Amino acid sequence: FVFFQSGNSFHVFDQGQFAKEVLPKYFKHNNMASFVRQLNMYGFRKVVHIEQGGLVKPEKDDTEFQHPYFIRGQEHLLENIKRKVTSVSGIKNEDIKVRQDNVTKLLTDIQVMKGKQESMDSKLMAMK
């Protein structure tokens, strides 16, 4: 279910089986989304590979997570992995809306650039 390839991340290959068989052994739930939410609270991030462009889900059931202090053979770094503390009261709703708008615009811009790149690639192939 879990695979440690390079030593600085881990993969969950079969999320359904992982949630059913592994999570209940270590948590009071078997919910993969809750596990991912907990990983995020401790600073782990899902690894998105460039070829996926961050916009396409991987075809296989393989999710990779990494953390700067989660490194094979560097157990002394694990003490630096701590739960993030956020002050929700300090964040205004309009700030959140602005950030969401920025992300939406950024994703739209990326899609447009991908379209232009594909168009240029096809024109280049035609010229060859």
- Give the separation between CA 33 and CA 46, rounded to whole angstroms: 12
Mean pLDDT of the chain, nearest integer: 83
User: Percent of the chain, pLDDT > 70?
Assistant: 76
Model pLDDT for residues 9-59, shown as the tens digit of each residue: 888 988 899 999 999 999 999 999 999 999 999 999 988 876 555 555 555
Q: Alpha-carbon distance 38 to 32, whole Å? A: 10
Q: Of 10, 35, 14, 11, nearest to 23 (Cα)? A: 35
Size (the chain), residues: 128
The domain limits of the chain are 1-84, 91-127
Assigned CATH for 1-84? 1.10.10.10
Centre a 10 Å sphere on the Cβ of residue 12 and count the other Cβ atoms it contains. Answer: 20
Residues 25 and 99: their CA atoms lie apart, in Å, by 38
Question: Tokens 């075809």 belong to which residue?
Answer: 59
Residue pair 11/2 in contact (Cβ under 8 Å)? The answer is yes
Q: Encode pLDDT of 86-125 as tens digits.
A: 666 666 666 666 677 778 888 888 899 999 999 999 999 9
What's the pTM value of the predicted model, to 2 decimals? 0.58
